[in-house]
Amino acid sequence: MTWTRRTFLGRVAAAAGYRAMYTAMQALGLLATTSEASPLPDLPPNFGAGKKVIILGGGIAGLVSAYELRKAGFTCTILEARERPGGRNWSVRNGCKVEFTDGAVQTCDWEEGHYLNVGPARLPSIHRVMIEYCEDLGVPLEVEINTSRSTLMQADTLNGGKPVEQRQVVNDTRGYISELLAKSIDQHGLDKLLDKEDTQRMLDFLQTYGDLTNDYSYKGSQRSGFVVSPGAGPDEEKWHQPLSLHELLVSDFSTGELYEEQIDWQATMFQPIGGMDRIPYAFAKSLGDIVQYRCVVKKVGKSSSGVKVEYANAGSSQEIEADYCICTLPLTILRTLDIDCALEKKQAFKGMKLASLYKIGWEAPRFWEKQYNIYGGISFPKQTVDLVWYPSNGLFTKTGIILSGFNFEQKDFADGSPTAFGALSTQGKLDASRAAVEVLHPGHGRSLTKPIYVSWQKIPYSLGCLAMNMMPDTKPAYNELNKPDGRIYFAGDYLSHIVGWQEGAALSAHRAIHGIAEQMRSS
Amino acid sequence: MTWTRRTFLGRVAAAAGYRAMYTAMQALGLLATTSEASPLPDLPPNFGAGKKVIILGGGIAGLVSAYELRKAGFTCTILEARERPGGRNWSVRNGCKVEFTDGAVQTCDWEEGHYLNVGPARLPSIHRVMIEYCEDLGVPLEVEINTSRSTLMQADTLNGGKPVEQRQVVNDTRGYISELLAKSIDQHGLDKLLDKEDTQRMLDFLQTYGDLTNDYSYKGSQRSGFVVSPGAGPDEEKWHQPLSLHELLVSDFSTGELYEEQIDWQATMFQPIGGMDRIPYAFAKSLGDIVQYRCVVKKVGKSSSGVKVEYANAGSSQEIEADYCICTLPLTILRTLDIDCALEKKQAFKGMKLASLYKIGWEAPRFWEKQYNIYGGISFPKQTVDLVWYPSNGLFTKTGIILSGFNFEQKDFADGSPTAFGALSTQGKLDASRAAVEVLHPGHGRSLTKPIYVSWQKIPYSLGCLAMNMMPDTKPAYNELNKPDGRIYFAGDYLSHIVGWQEGAALSAHRAIHGIAEQMRSS
């Protein structure tokens, strides 16, 4: 446990009135340890008195920076190019314009209350910092249903191409794996791997784990659901026949099956009621005119007292000076910006690609609820569009926004060439999106209306989605930009190990504030 | 697919305006098939005109009976012994008295808004009939979080007795099983079970399934969570060391690990906002004075025109006659009731034991949320009290009701002798409940206040919880009571294959109505 972590826990504990308890529990090693370690320093409220910080970009990193710096007495200004706060935290809703850099414009005319979180759409409960900001700001949360066993999985190589329920894939797979291991033990023993007693314990466990028969065969399970449901009276239920193991293996559902176990996608997950953008709007409301919209940064320079930024505001050129700068602009913007910094930094701006993620949402009657028992969760069709995500909001109402398509448009983990989806025309992409719903829910593809397609590479002021900072060759850039250039600090999710998440952006902002505080103390 | 199932689907489809779509989809076999098969007949609104039905018991079976019979023109009366509707669907809250048959009385004085669903506490989304009643009656639902990976598992034989997160148990177990199967394949092949190509596919799959290293070893996984969380800047996260396979096997967490996969406990699950009793209260509001409270049935006889029931109401003896009777009283009551029916029926009343389930709830500050990232879900300590269930309602508020203890007090699946818990005094039971929380959340056992302990065997007019109709020797009783005695029909979850669930009670009521309609048509 580093000192920063200890500081953080202490701060939380003090705020909650639990300091004594926390200290005792820490000493005992009894505290759950999944809380994020925030490097935010505990600064007195006048620490930054008389000091100005200019923050470039009003996404989560920028908003958190201003929110925390203000508490410590700094005078802050956020320059935001758009007319709204949030950056990639954007909920497209009625009246929104989606403008691409190629000139294409979509205008959203969904029903009031409908939205699509085209950037972040989930708040894992382990992302403590963001959860606590929601509590601080009074942003009410509801459960985001990331997993539902009634969602569907489909591959042309399984079940004649007809979709099956996720509960079948998950439980039949577990059944077969348990059977194979049990039979393997039966035939050869596991004497080199487990002693005799543990081998017997394993066999006993596998029987429950896989729902095996007495002779360790998998013959299907009630966990995989019904062809004929149980009811009243004498009639017996009828389970699904187990899927074919061969077909399951050929189809390889590992992505969909293990999706729910990725650490940031594990239950319990939340979403703000009304859309993810309720978070940036709540920050912005709290910050008031600290956030300046339609301010496009043109030049970042240094002055005798610190930093000087030139920007365009509604056509006119403006200038602002400050003691420090926290720059949260995306690397795609920084690459071409006129910025007075070291060559190493400029090289680092080019050191990470930005992911080519897209999302497509449609307005539709909620056929998936009453007719398929699907309330939230994600279906996985093995098609050009391979992910269909059902809304967790507005359950039991008439219509909703269904997402069909959330993936890369280019092979960002490989050579960057277009994916099958990315190679299509816009109309082809919408058709592929509709086709994915049709293969899962035959007859319903045509009930999708009013598509909204957001391709992050084409969104002005973003020009890409999350930075691919998990690629090994990005490490030099990561380390370089995690160091300031004089009084210019960089922040954003791309400078954290939780890239693509608001939590990473917030923690990165905390780290920048920590750096500024250290610099002030040592100067 | 039986005619009743087809009728049901047709009825739903017609109501939703989807008949054509349904018919087409049924023909294609494309409909999801997990909807419950309801035998409710589609009766014209004057079908029951001039006919009276007396319903004994105002639990879900009774309320559903009256609700549906009224639609078909019947005149109904429900005789309910208690002062409230719902039967075992009971949400204990401020002001409630919990009276045991042995004279013990508890009075609940929790904060306004707090409740414990001491009977049913979950509505699985696959329980279509109950979900649709909630929609009909305007009972708003919220997500019931049945699974959260941040909940805890504990055994004295694991990790030195210190609790671990569910994500560790679930993902480490999957990792080890994948490793063992992969190594088993490596050493001996699975040639008798899988061909060469599928064997390679299985190895590839296991690598993802178990998050194995390249040599198919399990060395821990990010899925199992962190000792040091990922953050901003250069510091790297640190994963939990994998738990010991030996300790996992000795501890045997199969119950807790597979809990979420039991068909009626799979996500997505719901609960009514404000308590499960919102359902019976909504039925009762709709039914008005059809529901007669404080009416204790004393005698069920036959008359020339049908059925005659004698009952006590506020001390005075009353009598009511009707053409038909639907009796939803529990078997424990029927065994001693003066009822004019065949000897086979009276024997059948004794043909099922009622389960000795209990629940204990406490009011407490929500230490499990901020300090443990636990929002809903269930922890499994291997202690005398082995289940701790966190509330899904009121998340992020200051206090809540935590359930510690939900199990059998007797070995109902065996000889009926007391369990370790059941053998304790009441104070011993409360101590065991508190101790289970203390072992999971050290230091917090003492923050539990105002316990409420409900032992269903001791609750008047119930005298037990669900009937153990899954035991093989209960089949004769089940079949016997699923047939009417003249004009007396029996209904309740115990006459369904979804025993212990409101869905079973509702379907059983539908079946009784079906029987009455058939009898009327054939007479």
pLDDT score recorded for residue A476: 98
Instruction: Give CA–CA dist A232/A234, Å, rounded.
Output: 7
Place of tokens 């906002």: B273
Instruction: Look at residue A218 and tell me if it is in a domain.
Output: yes
Same domain, A242 and A325: no
Nearest CA-CA partner of B345 in B462, B476, B468, B464: B476
B479 residue type, one letter: N
Q: Give the domain CATH number at A446.
A: 3.90.660.10
CA–CA dist B113, B91 (Å, integer)? 11
SS3 content of chain B, % helix, strand, coil (to 5): 35, 20, 40
Of A445, A260, A311, nearest in space to B223 by CA: A260
Q: Are strands B141-143 and B123-124 parallel, antiparallel or unpaired?
A: unpaired
Rounded-to-10 torsion of CA B157, B163, B164, B170 = 60
Block means of pLDDT (10 residues each) for chain B, 523 residues, are: 30 34 37 60 97 98 98 98 98 98 98 98 97 98 98 98 98 98 87 90 97 97 96 94 98 96 98 98 98 98 94 94 98 98 98 98 97 97 98 98 98 96 98 98 98 98 98 97 98 98 98 98 91
B272 lies in the same domain as B386 = yes
Exposure b/e, B111-140, CB count within 10 A at least 16 = b: eeebbbbbbbbbbbbbbbbbbbbbeebebe
Instruction: Write down the pLDDT at residue A37.
Output: 67
d(C-alpha B494, C-alpha B501), whole Å: 9
Report yes or no on B103 lying in a domain: yes
**What is the rounded CA–CA span in Å between residue A118 and residue A114?**
13
Q: What are the start-end ranges of the H helices in B264-377? A: 278-287, 331-334, 343-349, 367-370
Domain CATH for A506: 3.50.50.60
Q: How many Cβ atoms from other residues are within 10 Å of residue A261's Cβ? A: 20
Within a domain: B17: no
Q: Reduced to 3 states, what is the DSSP secondary structure of residue B450?
A: strand
B381 contacts: CB under 8 Å, gap ≥ 6: B152, B153, B154, B155, B163, B388, B436, B439, B440
Determine the distance in angstroms separating the CA of B243 from the nearest CA of chain A, rounded to an integer: 15
Decide if B497 and A147 are in contact by the 8 Å CB cutoff.
Answer: no
CB-based contact, A222 to chain B, within 8 Å = yes
- Sign of CA pseudo-dihedral A106, A467, A62, A71: positive
How much is the CA Rg of chain B, to the nearest whole Å? Answer: 26
- Secondary structure element (H or E) that encloses residue B389, with its range: strand B388-389
Q: How do residues A485-521 score in pLDDT, each as one tens digit?
A: 999 999 999 999 999 999 999 999 999 999 999 999 9
Q: Is B320's Cβ below 8 Å from some Cβ in A?
A: no
A208 and A306 in a common domain: no
Beta-sheet pairing, B269-272 with B123-124:
antiparallel
Give me the DSSP letters along B79-142.
Answer: E-SSSSSBTT--EEETT-EEE-TTS-EEE--PPTT-EEESS---EETT-HHHHHHHHHHT--EE
Helix (H) / strand (E) containing A107: strand A105-107
Residue A198 three-state SS: helix
A479 close to B (CB below 8 A): yes
Asked if residue B386 is part of any domain, the answer here is: yes
What contacts 24+ positions apart, CB below 8 Å, involve B287-290?
B287/B63, B287/B66, B287/B67, B287/B70, B287/B76, B287/B78, B290/B66, B290/B70, B290/B76, B290/B77, B290/B78
CB B468 within 8 A of CB B494: no
Q: Is B102 part of any domain?
A: yes
Residue B304 and residue B306: Cα distance in Å, rounded? Answer: 6
Contact A142 B145 (CB under 8 A): no
Q: Which of A261, A372, A397, A474 is the best mutation test for B, with the most CBs of B within 10 A?
A: A261
Number of domains in chain A: 3
Residue B365 and residue B302 share a domain: no
Structural domain harbouring A105 = 91-149+266-276+355-458
Q: Distance (Å, rounded) from C-alpha B439 to C-alpha B153?
A: 10
Asked if the C-beta of B15 comes within 8 angstroms of chain A's C-beta atoms, the answer is no
Closest to B86 measured CA to CA, from B61, B111, B51: B61
CA distance B396 to B376: 11
Claim to verify: residue A118 and residue A248 sit in the same structural domain: no
In whole angstroms, give the CA distance from residue B360 to residue B409: 12
Q: Kindly report whether the peptide bond that precedes residue B268 is cis, defined as omega within 30 degrees of 0.
A: yes
Radius of gyration of chain A (CA): 26
Which secondary structure element, helix H or strand E, spans residue B492, and what is its range? Answer: none
Residue of A26, A177, A255 best to disrupt the B interface, most CBs of B under 10 A: A177
Which stretch of DSSP H or E encloses residue B57? none
Q: What is the pTM of this model?
A: 0.93
What's the whole-number mean pLDDT along residues A179-193? 87
Q: What is the SS3 assignment for B197? A: helix
pLDDT of residue A2: 30
For B195, residues 6+ apart whose C-beta sits below 8 A from its C-beta are: none
Residues of A in contact with B201 (CB under 8 A): 249-250, 252
Q: Are B328 and B368 in contact (CB under 8 A)?
A: no
A268, B396: Cβ pair inside 8 Å? no
Beta strands A269-272 and A141-144, pairing class: antiparallel
Q: What is the 3-state secondary structure (H, E, C) of A60-94?
A: HHHHHHHHHHHHCCCEEEEECCCCCCECCCCEEEC
**Amino acid, res. B202:** M
* pLDDT value at residue B193: 85
* Mean pLDDT score of chain A: 93
Q: Which residues, numbered 331 to 360 in chain B, qualify as contacts with chain A under a Cβ-Cβ cut-off of 8 Å?
A: none
**Do B443 and B375 fall into the same domain?**
yes
CA dihedral (A24, A30, A32, A36) in degrees, to 10, reads 50
User: Cα(A230)–Cα(A237) distance, rounded to whole angstroms?
Assistant: 4
Cα four-point dihedral sign B416, B420, B424, B429: negative
Distance from CA of B27 to the nearest CA of A (A): 12
Q: Is the CB of B236 inside 8 Å of chain A's CB atoms?
A: yes
Q: Which residue of B has its CA nearest to A250?
A: B201
Sheet with A316-322: list strands edge to edge: A316-322, A307-313, A295-302, A338-339
Residue with tokens 């990792």: B175
Let me know whether B122 and B271 are in one domain. yes
Tell me if residue A312 falls in helix, strand or coil.
strand
Q: For residue B462, how far is the Cα from the chain centroid?
A: 16
Give me the mean pLDDT over the A407-436 stretch: 97
| Tokens found for residue B117 | 């669903």
Identify the weakest region by mean pLDDT among A29-43, A102-116, A315-329, B148-162: A29-43
Q: How far is A407 from chain B (nearest CA, A)?
A: 19
Ramachandran angles phi, psi of A271, nearest 5°: -145, 150
- Mark yes or no for CB contact A496/B126 under 8 Å: no
The answer to the question of residue A183 being in a domain is yes
Structure tokens at B95: 């002001």
Helix (H, G, I), strand (E, B) or coil at A39: coil
CA B334/CA B490 separation, integer angstroms: 11
Residues of chain B found within 8 Å of residue A223, distances taken between Cβ atoms? 258, 261-263, 266
Task: Give the CATH number of the domain where residue B196 resides.
Answer: 1.20.1440.240
Amino acid at B177: I
Signed CA dihedral, B290, B296, B301, B304: sign only:
negative
Same domain as B364, residue B440: yes
Give domain status of residue B33, yes or no. no
Complex prediction ipTM? 0.93
Residues 6+ apart with CB under 8 A from A285: none
**Among A152, A222, A268, the residue to mutate for chain B (most B Cβ within 10 A):** A268
Pair A375, A493 in one domain:
no
Task: Mutation target for B interface from A1, A200, A229: give the one with most B CBs within 10 A.
Answer: A229
Closest alpha carbon to A456 in A124, A92, A109: A92
Instruction: Specify whether B270 is located in the same domain as B394.
Output: yes
Helix or strand run (H / E) with residue B146: none
CA distances (Å), B97 to each of A337, B292, B294, B447, in order? 71, 20, 15, 23
Same structural domain, B100 and B243: no
Shared domain check, B448 and B363: yes
CB contact under 8 A, A234 and B482: yes
Q: Which residue of A has its CA nearest to B152?
A: A32
CA distance A258 to chain B (A): 7
Asked if the structure places residue A322 within a domain, the reply is yes
Q: Are A231 and B507 in contact (CB under 8 A)?
A: yes
